């Protein structure tokens, strides 16, 4: 059964307004995810460096460096995703301005750049999430491996 309101045809202006609202919600969600990734990875990097001596004793030097590198990759990807988001918004605004002035070739070029940066931002976000997940697996796995090698 459909939700109420689907019985009538949706006008083009209503469809565009709904699409714009969805874009704003998605933009806010991306901002939240990027902020959480930066805070999480920055905190993990700080904690890993501050607790280096203890982590090396628990994990071993090589495993500690692997963990630190994974966290660093996650932090770098989170920062790049924020930069990609900025670039995306910049080129999206420029594309709209060029289109409103009637400069369609420039608007198309700017829209292509906006699409490139939004794709790069989302790829960077995925990379950051993947690296965080890997680091969350590495830490206990390395600790278990070290306790097994001591026995």
Q: What's the pLDDT tens digit per position in 3-16?
A: 555 555 668 777 77
Q: What's the pLDDT tens digit per position in 104-148?
A: 999 999 999 999 999 999 999 999 999 999 999 999 999 898 887
- pTM value is 0.80
Say how many residues make up the chain: 151
The confidence score (pLDDT) of residue 26 equals 81
Output b/e per residue, 39-71; b: 16+ Cβ within 10 A.
Answer: ebbeebeeebeeeeeebeeebbeebbebbbebb
CA distance linking residue 46 with residue 41, whole number of Å:
9
Q: Are 110 and 94 in contact (CB under 8 A)?
A: yes
The CA angle 135-85-16, to the nearest 5 degrees, is 125
Residue 106, class by beta-carbon neighbours within 10 Å (0-12 exposed, 13-18 middle, 19+ buried)?
middle
Q: What's the pLDDT tens digit per position in 28-87?
A: 889 999 999 999 999 999 999 999 999 999 999 999 999 999 999 999 999 999 999 999
What band does 21 get if pLDDT is binned at 50, 70 and 90?
A: confident
Q: Which is more confident, 151 or 38?
A: 38
């Amino acid at each position: 059964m459909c939700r109420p309101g689907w019985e009538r045809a949706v006008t083009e202006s209503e469809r565009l307004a709904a699409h714009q609202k969805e874009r704003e919600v998605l933009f806010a969600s991306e901002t939240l995810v990027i902020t959480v990734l930066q805070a999480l990875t920055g905190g993990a990097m700080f904690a890993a460096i501050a607790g280096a001596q203890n982590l090396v004793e628990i994990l071993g030097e090589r495993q500690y460096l692997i963990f630190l590198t994974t966290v660093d990759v996650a932090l770098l990807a989170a920062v790049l995703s924020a930069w990609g988001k900025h670039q995306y918004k910049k080129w999206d605004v420029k594309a709209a301005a060029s289109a409103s002035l009637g400069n369609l070739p420039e608007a198309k070029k700017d829209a292509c750049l906006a699409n490139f940066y939004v794709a790069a931002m989302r790829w960077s976000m995925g990379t950051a999430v993947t690296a965080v997940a890997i680091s969350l697996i590495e830490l206990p796995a390395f600790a278990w491996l070290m306790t097994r090698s001591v026995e």
